[in-house]
Amino acid sequence: MSQTRMLIIEDERGLVQSLTWYFNKEGFEVSAVHDGAEGLRKAQSALPDVILLDLMLPGMNGLEVCRALRSGEKTKQIPIIMITAKSEETDQVVGFSMGADDYVTKPFSNKILLERVKAVLRRMETTQETSDTSEHLGVKVDRVRHQVMVGEQRLDLTPTEFRLLECLIRQPGRAFTRHQLMDSAISEGSIVLERTIDVHIKTLRKKLGDVREEYTELIETVRGVGYRFRETLNLE
């Protein structure tokens, strides 16, 4: 069985050495770079299985790297876990809105980080192995091709947005709490803010609305609970 290829983009060299040693010991094939622009080039050429990305990098910061990776056809599905010393709510929300799959703050336990990496990779494997599609009210989620079609138009979604929409559309009319959506769409065992889900929902609504204005109403807010995909929608 081939090793899981990990790319670490982090300028703190001591941390890079520690992470490289630890993940090599756990059976990963690890490569590392120390600035954002070089990390982007490495990711585009090597196409790793997972990326650990620092937020505060010299030159091109982590958010810019994440945005560039998510806009690239070959790199947009690579799982990205942001690692940073910042812990403010706005930084975490912005990180997820740029397409990060998970977020850990320094200092962190290597064992906890390993579990977060495994959870993200399991999520990707589950998506790839599922062979059916879900379609409702003109929105079709194809898990095999990992794409969403609204009519004839394809939606460009981040991996987390895809999993969030897939979770909602599988059971139209069911109200999901934010915690349920976090567990299903982001990562098992992640400790994230409820506001993170709100950011993803806002982005999904905008992308749906860009196809047709009324489609912003496909994802309904359930006051005091969370969100649901509508069973019916009058578009007359």
Residues 15 and 93 in one domain: yes
Residues 138 and 119 in one domain: no
Residue 180: predicted pLDDT: 79
Residue 234 located in a structural domain: no
Residue 26: predicted pLDDT: 93
pLDDT above 90 as % of the chain: 40
Q: What is the pTM of this model?
A: 0.61
11-48 pLDDT, tens digit per residue, is 999 999 999 999 999 999 999 999 999 999 999 999 99
Nearest to 196 by CA among 91, 68, 114: 91
Residue 89: predicted pLDDT: 58
Residue 236 located in a structural domain: no
Q: Are 225 and 182 in contact (CB under 8 A)?
A: no
Q: Are 60 and 37 in contact (CB under 8 A)?
A: yes
Q: Which of 86, 109, 127 is the last residue of a domain?
A: 127
Residues 50 and 117 in one domain: yes
- Above 70 in pLDDT, residue 229? yes
Residues 87 and 157 in one domain: no
Residue 236: predicted pLDDT: 47
Residue 206: predicted pLDDT: 93
Residues 148 and 112 in one domain: no
Residue 171 located in a structural domain: yes
Residues 120 and 134 in one domain: no
Domain count, the chain: 2
Residue 189: predicted pLDDT: 47
132-167 pLDDT, tens digit per residue, is 788 888 899 887 778 899 988 999 988 888 888 988
Residue 80 binned pLDDT confidence (cut-offs 50, 70, 90): very high
Residue 7: predicted pLDDT: 97
Domain that holds residue 17: 5-127
187-211 pLDDT, tens digit per residue, is 544 555 667 888 889 999 999 999 9
Residues 115 and 151 in one domain: no
CATH number at residue 67: 3.40.50.2300
Work out the average pLDDT over 205-233.
Answer: 91
CATH number at residue 172: 1.10.10.10
Residue in the block written with tokens 């397409």: 99
